[in-house]
Amino acid sequence: MALFAGGVIPNDQDNVTDLPYFNIDVYNATTGAWGSTPLPTANPDRVVGAAAGSEVLFAYYPDIYETPDSIELYHLQ
């Protein structure tokens, strides 16, 4: 499995303003299937994730110098 979350997408229209990406995408290499769920944050560029086995922990930071305002645990199946 591969997991992708948050971040920004380069905006080809003006090359200045990046577009926020508000999803968590999961790719299952065994089946070739993609899954997606919304990120529970208004700042997708301030998401940090860590994985161990089938557990993925996400921390959402309101500002780069602050502590996380929420933490969520996901279990991949």
Render pLDDT for 15-69 as a digit per residue (tens, 0 to 9).
Answer: 677 778 888 888 888 899 998 888 776 676 777 788 888 888 888 777 767 777 7
pTM above 0.85, yes or no: no
Return the SS3 of 44. Answer: helix
Contact 24, 16 (CB under 8 A): no
Buried b or exposed e, range 12-24, using 16+ CB within 10 angstroms: eeeeeeeeebbeb
Residue 26 has what pLDDT? 84
Residue 72 has what pLDDT? 80
Question: Residue 30 CB: number of other CB atoms within 10 A?
Answer: 6
Residue 34 has what pLDDT? 92
Residue 42 has what pLDDT? 67
Residue range(s) defining the domain that contains residue 42? 2-75
Total domain count, the chain? 1
The DSSP 8-state label assigned to residue 18 in this structure reads P
